[in-house]
Chain A
């Protein structure tokens, strides 16, 4: 079965500093990987996704993520965080063998201090 681990429940970063949110997955074959962001009281918005090819993927709002098969990781990064990035971030994994169901991590809450 697929599983997703986001080791950090909360992260606090100063505005302008770099950010890395960790995501590890457990799955035998090549997964499809996603990062979503949720602002308070809102639904989830897709930031980026990885299916195949270049292991560094670019997303919206200046985010990027790198797929590392050897580490079963798909970490999200941003070089310079803005106060508006404060939100909850979810990593998710899917696979054709499991239909179109996604499994989500527990989420990481990002706080940005000025």
Chain B
């Protein structure tokens, strides 16, 4: 089945530094990738939608200058949390959708970010 690799699975960084999270579709081309944030025992909150070769579409309330998204190829999207603060600590999940209209989302394993 379709596999999405997300790296790293966990990261600890100091306040003020930047962290990059990678999301790769390993065996299919993903024209669209999504980035979600999930707080404990809550649902997935869509942060942004990225399409290969174009600027990401951010959901209302998500700071695009803080959460930089790049979708440089059909198999790779990155999320960079810039100038991280403790309140950015969370679980971030990426997902990728294949090119077919009815393709479901395939999820990465998530990244737990802790900002100290």
B partners with A: no
By a beta-carbon cutoff of 8 Å, the part of chain A in contact with chain B is: none
By a beta-carbon cutoff of 8 Å, the part of chain B in contact with chain A is: none
